[in-house]
Amino acid sequence: MPRICLFPGTFDPVTLGHVDIINRALPLFDKIIVGIGLNASKTPMFSARQRQEWIEEIYKDEERVEGVVYEGLTINYCKIIGARFILRGIRYVSDFEYEKTIADANRTLDRTIETIFLTGEPKYTSVASTIVRDIIRNGGDATPFLPELVAKSVLK
């Protein structure tokens, strides 16, 4: 049975921290599906299609990574795509506390789907999409936090 993993998030925009987690997770899974979740309570800066295109372009030479857009409960989407794992990145202890609560709820909903946490590289701990969006909104240079492809796209 293939080890399919869903890496859910908003990826608004895709940052070097996201890419770090995906790259380090590649040896662990046969397939990583980067799931761009649509969340009615969030107003994204970039369209879901744009975020999906970034993932697809960054990983165009890596057939084990796929970008998708989905709606609804993450655990339900895992069932649809046959993912037995959910991947989450952790930067700080506060991230872990929040993510563990979600993982516990998901485990209650479906005990066959396991959440895997990877800690981010220390050089990426300050990279958060919220901060990157603020930098972009205020005309700052967000390129140190973004993959080159995303940075070029944002600057247009």
42 labelled catalytic: yes
111 labelled catalytic: no
d(CA 7, CA 57): 17
153 labelled catalytic: no
Task: Check whether the bond before 13 is cis (ω within 30° of 0).
Answer: yes
pLDDT at 94 over 90: no
Number of domains in the chain: 1
The structure's pTM equals 0.95
3, 38 contact by CB (below 8 A): no
CATH number for position 128: 3.40.50.620
Given the residues 3, 42, 60, 137, the one annotated as active site: 42
126 labelled catalytic: no
Domain span at residue 71 reads 4-155
Q: Kindly report, residue by residue over 101-129, the tens digit of the pLDDT.
A: 999 999 999 999 999 999 999 898 888 88
Beta bridge partners of 71: 38
Q: Kindly report, residue by residue over 15-40, the tens digit of the pLDDT.
A: 999 999 999 999 999 999 999 999 87
Q: Which two tokens stand for residue 39?
A: 């969340």
